[in-house]
Structure 1
Amino acid sequence: MKRYLVVVFAMLGLGLPASAHAQSTRAQLKDAQAKVVGTATLSEVPGGVRVTLRVNGLKPGEHGFHIHAVGKCEPPDFMSAGGHFNPYEKHHGLANPAGPHAGDFPNLEVGADGTGSLDTIDSLVTLKEGANSLIRPGGTSLIIHADPDDEKTDPAGNSGARVACGRIER
């Protein structure tokens, strides 16, 4: 009887649609010298995608942090990542009444020891299928900028050079 129940429960679990299973992915962020400076975990949660970022070896202070539209991270400037992920064609910035881009996040705060973390939920993106999916042909990427994001100025909040990049992939 026990063997029968195990088989039945296993079969039921296999019959679940893909959307019923947890969806998550990770991205390693590297600097221009290809040194890993951070790891991001992206998880589908009710209300959007939770992004948990941990970094080390960065300049202390605030840094702009965004999702970019192309999944390429070619050093030294990471311009290959394209502009911000913006499927809704909004203006840049969490403080902009005509925004934000789907890929806009709060600033990343890095301490005096070069470490930092950010844990936020982006309600404008998904890891499932759709126009706002981060899992797409050509991919998407995460970029850390040298300077703080002013959260209102197009196209990137005056956040300066791109200092680290990580490709988002399943």
Structure 2
Amino acid sequence: MKMRIAVVAIAAPLSLGACATIPPQNSASTLATAALINTSGQSVGSVEITQNGTAMLFRANVSGQAAGEHGIHLHTTGKCEAPGFTSAGGHLNPTAHQHGSLNPAGPHVGDLPNIVVGTDGTGMIEGPLTGTAAVVLASVFDTDGTAIVLHAGPDDYKTDPSGNSGGRIACGVLMRFPA
């Protein structure tokens, strides 16, 4: 009888431990989304900005694009008027840095890595945003909003102010999520 009590005394805590809730590995919350449109007004992709603790992250998916590398950046104004999308303004740069991760005086908040588009016309990229959560949140959700712009060519990561990434071929306005 003493042996059974010992087994129950050991097994009970182990079985209760199995009922403990395991926290999710990815607790990122979506902060903003954007639908990318091309100069003809057609949907060509989507963008999502998330926060995981103090890390600010972005994810972009594109389709119907020329194969190769394309610059993609956050821009100062949440406006996307075709055909040139110049209404989006310049790169988001609240900290007054120069452009590019290879520039000793850079990067600024609007700088993102190039997105690589495959021969099927699709591409996906995800990664961290430059700057603290406080700076990113304040600048993305300011009074005039923020756009994300896809460029025709690759960003060289050093030429101020825009990385020589060519014309603006798609644009989306970041909308706070949930709206």
TM over 0.5: yes
Question: Which residue does 2:62 correspond to in 1?
Answer: 55
Question: Which residue does 2:5 correspond to in 1?
Answer: none
Residues 125 and 167 (structure 1), Cα distance of their counterparts in 2 relative to 1, 3 Å cut: farther
Question: Which residue does 1:169 correspond to in 2?
Answer: 175
Native 8 Å contact 1:125 1:132 kept in 2: no
Q: Which SS does the other structure have where 2:91 is aligned?
A: coil
Question: Which residue does 1:76 correspond to in 2?
Answer: 83
Match of 1:30 among 10, 32, 37: 37
Q: Which has the higher Rg, Structure 1 or Structure 2?
A: 2
Runs of at least 5 residues in structure 1 that lack an aligned partner in the other structure:
1-20
Q: Residues 10-36 of structure 1: CA distance to partner in whole angstroms, max 9, x if unpaired?
A: xxxxxxxxxxx9452210000000101
Alpha-carbon deviation of 1:125?
5.5
Aligned-partner Cα distance in 1 for 2:95–2:142: 16
Native 8 Å contact 2:54 2:132 kept in 1: no
Question: Which residue does 1:92 correspond to in 2?
Answer: 99
Question: Which residue does 1:136 correspond to in 2?
Answer: 142
Residues 101 and 57 (structure 1), Cα distance of their counterparts in 2 relative to 1, 3 Å cut: same
Q: Which SS does the other structure have where 1:83 is aligned?
A: coil
TM-score where L is the length of structure 1: 0.82
Identity of aligned residues (%): 43
Deviates more, 1:98-107 or 1:130-139: 130-139
Aligned-partner Cα distance in 1 for 2:58–2:30: 12
- Pairwise CA RMSD: 1.8
Native 8 Å contact 2:56 2:136 kept in 1: no
Runs of at least 5 residues in structure 2 that lack an aligned partner in the other structure:
1-27
Amino acid at match of 2:48: T
Aligned-partner Cα distance in 2 for 1:137–1:125: 19
